[in-house]
Structure 1
Amino acid sequence: MDRNTIILWLLFLLGGITENGFGQLNHKANPVEKLISDVIDSSFNACVYIIEYDTLSRKKGEGMGFSGVVVSKDGHILTVSHAVEPHQVYLVTFPDGDSCIASGLGRIGIQKKGQDFDMAMIKILHTGKWRYAKMGRSADLVPGQPVVSISYPGSFYKPLPNIRLGKINHVGGPGGYIESTCKMEPGDSGGPLFDAEGRVVGLHSWIKANENENFDVPIDAYLKYWSALSVAKDYASLPVADMLPSIMPRNNGDSGYISVIGKTNAASNRSVVQIISGTGDKGSFIKGAVIKFGGKIYIVSKSSMVRQNPKLLYRSGNIPATILIRDRENDLILLTARVDDKDAVDIDAAASNGKSTSLGRLLFTPVNHTRTKVGISSSSFISMEPNYSIGFFGADATYIDRKVTITSIRTGSAACGFLRIKDQVISINDVSIDKPEYYGRELARCYASESIQVSVRRNGKLLQLKFPLPAYPTGKHVSYDFPGGTSMRSDGFAKVLIQDAAIRADECGTPVFNIANEFVGINIARHSRTSTVIMPVDVIGGFIVNSSKGQHTVNK
């Protein structure tokens, strides 16, 4: 299959949602994955994480770093002006863990009438033959053309970048930017956008609320002002441009559209069910997957979103479901209900092999019986420490007279309606708080949406308090404005995969399949604008096995 045919199939897949699924696309999709793999092979190791660095104290700067890409063997790194200052020292880290020191060079950050530039260059100070990516030609980009993003989203605390697949929406949009569907969030700034040949065609700059509206600085602008960017200067006005050849090497290939789509794999789509639980204001709606394991039929879903008295919306009616077991560590729940075993996905074989899903593999999520969302694996197996999912307790404490004593309470927090200043904390969730460090440690183990039990002494009287923990308030940033928002529990997992499909928080629990129609796992959380978390099949299989041994909590 030639490259243009591959691009045609990519254009279909990049639609993101199809009413016709993926069951008959598998024989065509392998070359698509090969194309993505080639981009990763040629460019991944040139994509770097950058953060301010103090060479005297040998400490990283506070706050979030940003992304960039090495584009010359001499160590020139392209990024964006809103992240860089001339002469500033930076620590640059490569995906393999190697790091080096770089210094800020030219910065062109001009937003005036008729002008909008967000360009910067830094350069590695050490001599060497650095891994670098080739630069392409953004002028040749056309709507619908596939592009790949490799950068470091700030919602993750990991040393490797995430991969995302998208298509060009528009070239020469507002301010001359490239608009694509490759999703971005804070931390991705300065990260590269690659064409199908693995060449840099843009650098991540800004976003709108719509997940499919992401804007990159075109690589042609960097080439045009290369000489100016090579000088450590903050330009207040547009510098003199370089004289570029009138005929530059053009990108190979073209793009087009495809209209013929195969039929859905109906069996996989039938495995999706809607779970309804709770009542009134405490009602909850989440998806689940009907699976077969060890000869038995189960429904597996996201535990923190399943309340009491669950029901399944099944074949145009509601049927009762029974909660068997919960796994707090992985936010999994196992249920049973009277469902047809023909609707179940047999996961025995997939659960036993536990094989990894490589970077850039196509993944398919049926969100109901007719609609499928398409993404790619943004990472291999990773662990996610609890950060964004910790509940908003909201009370500070000080060690006074050998007692952990409440000294301030934040308005709107969980503690606001229950604790008082000068309360002495005796225990949290039945764990004695004898030392100051125990207070923070126990609070860090409490997830939003869960209830917390706090024993305090107030005016000499012992009180037992129990109250729910809300999520921390999100910041005021457009990256939080995507439909459905993040899942309340989106991290704190020992082994997960990441994909870039835009799975809504209330669509979690849905099954995920690869191009061979093998069960990969379930979507367990929407973590951020760019990323959905997958609980892999071997973890689900282990959960079921351990539940039969009584190693999980029955909490209905």
Structure 2
Amino acid sequence: MFSLKSSMSYLLALLVLGQAAVVRAELPEFTGLVEEASPAVVNISTRQNLPTRDASVQGQMPDLEGLPPMLREFFERSIPQAPRGPGGRQREAQSLGSGFIISADGYVLTNNHVIADADEIIVRLSDRSELQAKLIGADPRTDVALLKVEGKGLPTVKLGKSESLKVGAWVLAIGSPFGFDHSVTAGIVSAKGRSLPNENYVPFIQTDVAINPGNSGGPLFNLDGEVVGINSQIFTRSGGFMGLSFAIPIDVAMDVANQLKSEGKVSRGWLGVVIQEVNKDLAESFGLERPAGALVAQVLEEGPAAKGGLQVGDVILSMNGLPIVMSADLPHLVGGLKPGSKIKLDVVREGARQTLELTIGALPEEGAVAAGASPESERSSNRLGVSVADLSAEQKKSLDLRGGVVIKEVQDGPAALIGLRPGDVITHLSNRAIDSAKTFTEVAQGLPKDRSVSMRVLRQGRASFITFKLSE
């Protein structure tokens, strides 16, 4: 006969087993997906002809044998190279990445950084056969590359819609981390629409799927076996996976691939503005109910924004009815439009809401903004602890400004606390355009106490709004 204690233990064990069975039943089953999708996932290696090292350098070259391939290649690339002479010998460098076949006649998608600077690209299929690939085109801005191998009836992936992907959904990656072909890892979607530094045109999918070097360019699948992204980047302090992986949405990647295939290049929309995030203090200084939108810190001359009437200090709240919550939302939306598209922007200007109609331009290949600073002085109110001078005609021309003042000296006070430096150019203060040192002094003397005040500062050609409060 069971004792009460043993009966309770038995019931507890049944409860634990029952809960485990429920959890097991709720976990997704990946085996069918992997069997169906794996044949279309490929390994990509590249060969690059590099100049032979100078003999004097070779003698100083450390012994790199035994190091991991990526670390060895890093050190090799860091060592100075001798100029390539006629008939000089060549070395071969190799890198590993992943990709996937999107059409039966051999079109392959991968990352641009996987094949960048390659002289030869080799695609290895799941049956271990190798095919030489031709680069159809690449777009560094989105890190997407389109390859072509010769073949018919090749296995292909199913393409899904990244737009319909939901945060919390299960996703799965197949790739070649550290050269281990067709490794499978799974996780969930952590976030959508992520912006990364220097990546303005990709609203990344963030996941906690284990991604490591070699996974780059490989597919990210949903539970229906459809590709919803291209695994592209990881956030790491160790060089390996730390729980933050980022994938290019397949909608973005296929738009790029189709343009590369049909036109050989990618065209994307451009407004011609420099924007920044609206934080709590900026929202207060501009009279906004909450911190949201994209603050226009700079309008490029003769750009679409300038022609459409957008001004410095405008806060863009929506585009074509789509809300701009974070400033990074704007480049994602604008970049996805074709040049010549008409848009409507809802903006707040000097506390009043209005709608502007603009025509999107084509993003230039490259752009630059000039910088400068120089003489002629007048002291301003010591309330801010800064001395300023009128801009010279040459400075205004080089900076493309109609007005503004240059900081000559920063004393102890609010200016020093917010990080202003000599040479900085102030163009707006408390939502007013500054056309001279006299105007600056007048505005500075009338600044309110204990309330966020905005200031637009131009430093080394880059404009941004900053905020501060005066306690006295």
State the TM-score, normalizing by the size of structure 2. 0.40
Q: Which has the larger radius of gyration?
A: 2
Greater helix fraction, Structure 1 or Structure 2: 2
**TM-score normalised by L of structure 1:** 0.34
Higher relative contact order (CA 8 A, sep 6+): 1
